[in-house]
């Protein structure tokens, strides 16, 4: 009998059947073919090992929705037939082991560089460059092109199309990447969205683009297999916090309910960070949202178990420890030590 009884319970998140209340957090690994965005057998085996270990929900690395959505070399796509066909090997591998896998669909917006996106200018809600450099590429972020309404319509349609492609490729659903300062979050945030049309204004109004994306994806594949990820954290503004976390959460949750979202994935770097009056983010979210919540952020088996017991979350997502331990659940069940994650050692290869 394991001491992590909640973590090892089966669960059903709407249309997703999970062997345990654990998820593999989405993690970009940059092992796809850089030119074609096509995945390979090595990547399929990487995900297979986590499914075999019993991870309940595998959320894939960010998968881009178009050429222009890409922000790092070697990131896979799911918008060409070749890409879709290649993903079938991954989804088959996970399903062979009785696992469940969804694709995280991603557009980086302004967090890119024209050399990464076939000479195009990065696109964003407003023509404001992000601070800093493209990771692994060491070139400063460029001034993006402000998206027209036609651009917005095009991108929303791309999200819907790749959601369908994901099902064709054998994924059990999708997670919309609305977090961490990428395109959707650029619309959501006051410092990257200075628009004066219906896509800009106060937070409620800035969430318009996100709502349109969610609606289009839900229309395409049904709400019971769609997750939305969102966060106060931005990769290009690490110090950023919501002014009033409770108010922000209320506004997001209202938007989610309006468009019929069923599963949410609020993302924190540190799950237990005090965001307001001694409360963690998930505690506050739970006051407004009774449906399934995935939690994340430096969770250990103990702290994940505690969060599940408290009822703040329904599934605990684990990131870096799953890069360094393909047999994470086996180890914690047997009381064996975990291999500590080290970016320098673990990122250059897939184990």
Ligand X SMILES: Cc1cc2nc3c(=O)[nH]c(=O)nc-3n(C[C@H](O)[C@H](O)[C@H](O)COP(=O)(O)O)c2cc1C
The residue ranges that bind ligand X (CB under 6 A) are: 25-28, 61-62, 104, 177, 179-180, 229, 267, 269, 296-299, 318-320
Q: How far is the CB of 88 from ligand X (least distance, A)?
A: 21
For the purposes of burial, counting CB atoms within 10 Å of the CB of 150, is it exposed (0-12), middle (13-18) or buried (19 or more)?
Answer: exposed
d(CA 122, CA 259): 28
User: Which CB sits closer to ligand X, 141 or 182?
Assistant: 182
CA dist., res. 321 & res. 33, Å (int): 25
DSSP notation for 315-347: EEEE-HHHHH-TTHHHHHHHTPPPPPP-HHHHT
Question: Phi and psi (nearest 5°) for 231?
Answer: -165, 155
Q: Specify the residue, 204 or 320, whose C-beta has the smaller distance to ligand X.
A: 320
CB of 180 to ligand X, least distance (A): 6
CA 87 from chain center: how many Å? 18
Report the residue number, 28 or 208, with the smaller CB distance to ligand X. Answer: 28
Toward ligand X, which CB reaches closer, 136 or 194? Answer: 136
Minimum CB distance to ligand X smaller for 122 or for 181:
181
In the complex, the smallest distance separating the C-beta of residue 185 from ligand X, rounded to whole angstroms, is 10
Catalytic residue among 47, 182, 252, 328: 182
Shortest Å, Cβ 283 to ligand X: 18
Closest CA to 198 of 162, 259, 147, 268: 147
Query: Shortest distance, CB of residue 238 to ligand X, whole angstroms?
Result: 13
Bridge partners of 229, per DSSP, are 177, 265
182 is catalytic: yes
CB nearest ligand X: which residue? 319
Burial of 348 per CB tally in 10 Å (0-12, 13-18, 19+): exposed
Question: How far is residue 288 CA from its own chain's centroid?
Answer: 21
58 strand-pairing partners: 24, 101
Tell me how far apart the alpha carbons of residues 167 and 183 are, in angstroms, rounded to a whole number: 23
Catalytic residues: 182
């Amino acid at each position: 009998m394991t001491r992590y009884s909640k973590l090892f319970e089966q669960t059903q998140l709407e249309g997703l059947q999970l062997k345990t209340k654990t998820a593999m957090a989405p993690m970009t690994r940059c092992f796809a073919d850089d030119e074609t965005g096509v995945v390979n057998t090595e990547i399929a085996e990487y995900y297979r090992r986590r499914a075999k270990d019993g991870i309940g929900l595998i959320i894939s690395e960010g998968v881009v929705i178009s050429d222009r959505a890409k922000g790092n070399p070697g990131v896979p796509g799911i918008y060409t037939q070749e890409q879709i066909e290649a993903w079938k090997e991954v989804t088959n591998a996970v399903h062979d082991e009785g696992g469940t896998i969804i694709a995280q669909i991603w557009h980086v917006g302004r967090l890119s560089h024209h050399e990464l996106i076939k000479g195009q200018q990065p696109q964003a809600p407003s023509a404001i460059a992000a601070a800093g450099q493209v990771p692994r590429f060491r070139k400063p972020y460029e001034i993006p092109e402000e998206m027209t309404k036609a651009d917005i319509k095009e991108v929303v349609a791309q999200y819907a199309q790749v959601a369908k492609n994901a099902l064709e490729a054998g994924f059990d659903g999708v997670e919309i990447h609305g977090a961490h300062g990428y395109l959707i979050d650029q619309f959501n945030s006051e410092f990257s969205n200075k628009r004066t049309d219906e896509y800009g204004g106060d937070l409620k109004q800035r969430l318009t683009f996100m709502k349109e994306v969610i609606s289009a994806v839900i229309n395409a594949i049904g709400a019971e297999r769609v997750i939305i990820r969102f966060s106060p954290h931005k990769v290009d503004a690490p110090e950023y916090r919501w002014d009033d976390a409770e108010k922000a959460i209320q506004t997001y949750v209202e938007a989610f309910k309006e468009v019929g979202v069923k599963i949410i994935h609020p993302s924190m770097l540190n799950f237990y960070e005090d965001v307001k009056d001694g409360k963690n983010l998930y505690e506050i979210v739970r006051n407004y949202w009774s449906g399934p919540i995935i939690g994340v952020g430096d969770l250990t088996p103990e702290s994940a178990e505690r969060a599940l017991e408290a009822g703040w979350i329904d599934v605990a997502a684990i990131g870096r420890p799953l890069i360094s331990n393909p047999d994470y659940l086996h180890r914690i069940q047997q009381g064996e030590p975990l291999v500590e994650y080290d970016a320098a050692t673990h990122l250059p290869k897939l184990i």
